[in-house]
Structure 1
Amino acid sequence: MDTLATRWSRLEPHVTIVGPDDDRPRPAVLLFHGCGGLRGHLPRYAAAAKARGWRAVIVDSYAPRGWSRQFAMATVCTGLLLRGWERAGDILATIHGVSARPEVDASTLVLAGWSHGGWGIMEAMSADRERAGALGLVDAGAVSLEAVKATYLAYPYVGVAALNRMRPWRHCPKTLAVVAAKDHLTTVRNAERVHAMVRNCGAEVETWIADGTHSFDEPMTAPPMRYDDALCAEAIRRFAALLEDTAVAPPV
């Protein structure tokens, strides 16, 4: 079982930080991919963050584990490996590691997750981190979530395998939840029920029902999933607006 430091030491070589070319402490948004791994849409979100004076931290959860996209598709996407609570350990370790970097304003972080990444964020927000071995870490409670001011959840996985989807959050930041109207992994009704639970914990939760499929912003078509360029542009616009509503970054 990892400590926060050892998990971060494994993740850090496979992290990409995008942002203005300076060393000023800036707010940061941490980006966590879906079960298909790093894809071409995350750099577009990172570029939107950079344009607004933020740093974007793209985290690859598969390379440190030696997993290919094909392996992940056959195991993570089918629920055999790396359930959401395990992925949450990567999220906490990234908060721990990134907060120590001088070019990051450690008081202002946003977590953004797509599908499986969103599942991991929800587990991190709701878990009892003081419990021994919580989220696969020895010291999960040693990292504070107070700096997490908002979350961006893009069609997060809230299906039957997400056993804790209705567990109240213990940390309740402002949240923008993107619901795909044609998501084959959940109904709109189920997704809205989960997000209403989050809202009830005291969080400001905005939901956007996008008229697309799961992964509509990912530049590929793998039925029943289909890319939609207009919806992707709107998703990036809303993501950027969430950052601007959360904190004013130093001018670029």
Structure 2
Amino acid sequence: MDTMAERWALLQKGVTVYGPEDDLPRPAVVLFHGCGGLRPHVHLYAQAAAKTGVRAYVIDSFAPRGWDRNFAVSLICTGVVLQGYERSGDVLAALWGLKQSGRVQMDRVMLAGFSHGGWSIMDLMTQRLTRPGEAKLADPDPSLLETLRALFLVYPYINFPARTNLRAWVHQPETFAVLAEKDHLTPFAHSQKIFKRLQAAGGNIRTLALPATHAFDEEDFKRGVMAYSPEAMQASINAMLTLIDSRLV
């Protein structure tokens, strides 16, 4: 089982950074891609975030492990390998690594997740992180989540076996979720139900419903159950920028 240092040493090989190139501590947005692997749209969100003056860190969970898109679609998107609970350790280790870098204001950090990335972030929120083995890490540290400013979730996967289906969030940073009304992986009504339950439990959560499908921001999907919508993508990016403006800058 990895320590946070070991996990970050692996992930560091697949990190892309946008924003100020100096070494001053800056607010940060940390982005986690979906089950199909790192796709161009995640970089577009990161570039938009960086224009506000924050640093944006795109974390590739798959390439450093030697996994290509065929592997991802066949085994990760089907839930055989690296479910959200297991990948939640990537999220925590990334926060650990950014803290060690000295280039991030750790009280001004936002996590952003797309589909499987959102699942991983949400699974992390359900864990106390007080014992070895949680988040599949030998030394999880809950203090890394205490100063999180916000979560930004885009069509997050919260169907079976996502932990948020049944578990409360131990950690409750301000959260904004972009939901797709035509989502075939997590039905829109189910997403609404889950987020309303989290709100009722005290969560500061807002949602934006868009008339779009899952993965509406991937240009490769032209039609069918997943279809690219530039209008929905722009609305989603605008929502992220508004959250950055209110929580980070």
TM-score, length of structure 2 as denominator length: 0.96
Aligned to 1:209: 209
Q: Cα RMSD between the aligned structures? A: 1.3
Residue identity matched to 1:100: Q
Aligned to 1:244: 245
Distance apart, 1:219 and its partner CA:
1.6
Counterparts of 2:121 and 2:96, CA distance in 1: 14
Residue identity matched to 1:63: A
Distance apart, 1:142 and its partner CA:
5.7
Runs (4+) of structure 1 exceeding 6 A deviation are none
Deviates more, 1:82-91 or 1:22-31: 22-31
Aligned to 1:219: 219
Q: What secondary structure, in the 3-state scheme, does the structure 2 residue paired with 1:97 have?
A: helix
Q: What secondary structure, in the 3-state scheme, does the structure 2 residue paired with 1:108 have?
A: strand
Q: Which runs of 5+ in 2 are unaligned?
A: none
Aligned to 1:232: 233
Distance apart, 1:135 and its partner CA:
1.4
Aligned to 1:174: 174
2:16–2:59 contact (8 Å) kept in structure 1: yes
1:24 corresponds to 2:24: yes
Distance apart, 1:64 and its partner CA:
1.7
TM-score, length of structure 1 as denominator length: 0.94
Distance apart, 1:160 and its partner CA:
1.9
Q: Deviations over 1:180-216 (max 9, x none)?
A: 1000112211101111122233222111111000000
Distance apart, 1:143 and its partner CA:
4.8
Q: What secondary structure, in the 3-state scheme, does the structure 2 residue paired with 1:2 have?
A: coil
Aligned to 1:192: 192
2:126–2:163 contact (8 Å) kept in structure 1: no
Q: How many residues align?
A: 248
Deviates more, 1:50-59 or 1:21-30: 21-30
Counterparts of 1:69 and 1:108, CA distance in 2: 32
Identical aligned pairs, as a percentage?
A: 43
Counterparts of 1:163 and 1:104, CA distance in 2: 29
2:109–2:248 contact (8 Å) kept in structure 1: no
> Any residues of structure 2 matched to 1:114-153 within 5 Å, and which?
114-141=114-141, 143-153=143-153
Distance apart, 1:103 and its partner CA:
2.1
